[in-house]
Amino acid sequence: MSTQSRLMLVVSPLMEHSPAFDRAAALAKAEGAALHIVAFDYLEGLATANLVNEQALEQMRLGYVERHRHWLEEQARPLRKLGIEVTTEVTWVERPLQEILIHLKEQPMDALIKTVEHESWFSRLMFTPLDVHLLRESDVPLHFVNKVIHARPHKILAAIDPFHLDGRYEGLNDRILSEANKLASSCDASLEVIYAYDLSSITASEYGFGSGSMFFSSTLARQLYESQGEAFDALAERNGIAPEQRRMIMGDPAKVLASYAASHDIDVIVMGRVRYTGLDKLIGSTVEGLMYKMPCSLWVIAPQKMD
């Protein structure tokens, strides 16, 4: 039975060569992985044109899909010459989310790679973008490609939170570090691990302190800092992360990660996401906020499903 890794690259219906192509090819080459490139075509103008009859419209759609299929094969040809196993697919579908999830279920992948689709704040408020839907619903690691300087990543940053009190995320930090180590090793990249801790988001009652004023006394704050540092070090040591690779910085996680990535030329941040239920979906998360602000690309790990 083959143990070859498989990567899936989802591309735009507009026949554009995005940086995600180069990143997917570089990762497939570095990991010896097979690469499946898929386009979910749907062009509003073509789909709703009313100047011709339905039969003519169908021929136009089929013609566009065929041209796109030919274009993808042209993109795949030089990758195959590099020794990468590449397959391509084009499907006409208006709402690609379910099709992507079906593909991932029927053809298990080690990661899904996709260019970040930058949406306006108002658009994100009114309609949940495909990227956010994937974040919330996919159990496969997601690589959202944003700005790319190096096709093969040179610097990788793993973001963890060893102080998660929610049992639903047990083991997530280890999975983040395992994925980051694997990525760094295959790409011959450097790896750093960061814990951005934010005391302002922690309630006194969570840690058994009687009042907020007691909690924010210098003694108790120092005790909490030390306990977090111990948890961080234990997690890092368990995963073979050397002391010089560890960074523990106080501040809002999204701001800390964005600032650190920009100032240290990070290519990819590997991080986890939460699971949403009910009204939690309206709130968003650190990774959703970072997706549109991060100066680099994201590699997102989902928590394991609870039985």
CATH number at residue 175: 3.40.50.620
Q: 129: which residues sit within 8 A by CB, 6+ positions away?
A: 117, 119, 123
The alpha carbons of the chain give a radius of gyration, in whole angstroms, of: 22
Q: In this predicted structure, what is the pLDDT of residue 111?
A: 96
The mean pLDDT value for 167-171 works out to: 65
pLDDT over 50 (residue 280): no
Q: In this predicted structure, what is the pLDDT of residue 45?
A: 58
Buried b (16+ CB within 10 A) or exposed e, 266-297: bbbbbbbbbeeeeeeeeeebbbbbbbbebbbb
Q: Does 278 share its domain with 165?
A: yes
Q: Does 210 share its domain with 255?
A: yes
- Assign 206 a pLDDT band (cuts: 50, 70, 90): very low
Lowest-confidence pick of 77-91, 165-179, 224-238: 165-179
The mean pLDDT value for 202-213 works out to: 46
Q: Whole-angstrom Cα distance, residue 150 to residue 190?
A: 13
Q: Does 177 share its domain with 298?
A: yes
The mean pLDDT value for 119-127 works out to: 52
Task: Identify the domain containing residue 235 by its residue range.
Answer: 147-307
Q: Does 152 share its domain with 85?
A: no
Q: Does 296 share its domain with 168?
A: yes
Q: In this predicted structure, what is the pLDDT of residue 83?
A: 96
Q: In this predicted structure, what is the pLDDT of residue 72?
A: 96
Strands of 160-266, DSSP E: 190-197, 246-250
Does 280 fall in a domain?
Answer: yes
Q: Whole-angstrom Cα distance, residue 272 to residue 173?
A: 8
Q: In this predicted structure, what is the pLDDT of residue 123?
A: 52
Tally of structural domains, the chain: 2
Q: In this predicted structure, what is the pLDDT of residue 4?
A: 85
Does 177 fall in a domain?
Answer: yes
Q: Does 202 share its domain with 255?
A: yes
Q: Are residues 212 and 204 in contact, defined by beta-carbon separation less than 8 angstroms? A: yes
Does 14 fall in a domain?
Answer: yes
Both tokens of 99, joined, read: 């099709």
Q: In this predicted structure, what is the pLDDT of residue 218?
A: 64
Does 171 fall in a domain?
Answer: yes
Q: Which residue has the higher pLDDT, 178 or 162?
A: 178
Q: Does 5 share its domain with 152?
A: no
Q: In this predicted structure, what is the pLDDT of residue 214?
A: 45
Q: Are residues 268 and 156 in contact, defined by beta-carbon separation less than 8 angstroms? A: yes
pLDDT digits (tens, 9 = 90+) for 77-116: 999 999 999 999 999 888 899 999 999 999 889 999 999 8
pLDDT over 70 (residue 69): yes
Q: Quickly tell me which residue has 């990468």 as its tokens.
A: 84
pLDDT over 50 (residue 1): no
- pTM of structure: 0.85
Q: Which residue has the higher pLDDT, 23 or 58?
A: 23
The per-residue pLDDT of the chain, averaged, comes to 83
Does 127 fall in a domain?
Answer: no
% pLDDT > 90, the chain? 51
Q: In this predicted structure, what is the pLDDT of residue 52?
A: 60
Q: Does 78 share its domain with 212?
A: no
Q: Does 92 share its domain with 202?
A: no
Lowest-confidence pick of 45-54, 102-111, 192-201, 263-272: 45-54
pLDDT over 80 (residue 164): no
Q: In this predicted structure, what is the pLDDT of residue 307?
A: 46
pLDDT digits (tens, 9 = 90+) for 138-161: 999 999 998 889 999 999 999 998
pLDDT digits (tens, 9 = 90+) for 11-55: 998 888 899 999 999 999 999 999 999 999 876 655 555 556 677
The mean pLDDT value for 178-197 works out to: 95
Does 137 fall in a domain?
Answer: no
